[in-house]
Amino acid sequence: MSRITPKILPKIEIPRLPLLAIGLILATATLAHADDKISLLLKDHKFQPDRIEANAGVKIEITVKNEDSGADEFDSRDLKREKVIGGGKEGIILVGPLQPGEYHFQGEYHAQTAQGVLVVK
């Protein structure tokens, strides 16, 4: 009968950098979650509703559905956001957290009629 001698395995070092990277990726994915979700319609070159409200101090997701046949650009200097949304398409704009106040936006291609304001309370 032969005797089996146990082998002692060398200690394996797990690199910490990849684990840290995975943790950061998971944390970033969690941070992308919006607390307030708002739907906005662009029809006949006007935002409907033209006044939307959200809570202060949280992330806000604004979904803009463009029901016009042509593209328009959601544009806001106050929010520091621009996004072209094709005719019949949807676009998502992420903002915040924001301080209480009023943040104006417009449809850049039809700025005389496509006007709106985000009121943060």
pLDDT in tens, 46-105: 999 999 999 999 999 999 999 999 999 999 999 999 999 999 999 999 998 999 999 999
Amino acid found at 44: D
- Assess contact for 95 and 81: CB atoms under 8 A: yes
Query: Which of the four pLDDT bands, split at 50, 70 and 90, describes residue 29?
Result: very low
0.75 exceeded by the pTM?
no
Run of H or E residues at 22: helix 16-31
Domains defined for the chain, CATH in brackets: 34-120 (2.60.40.420)
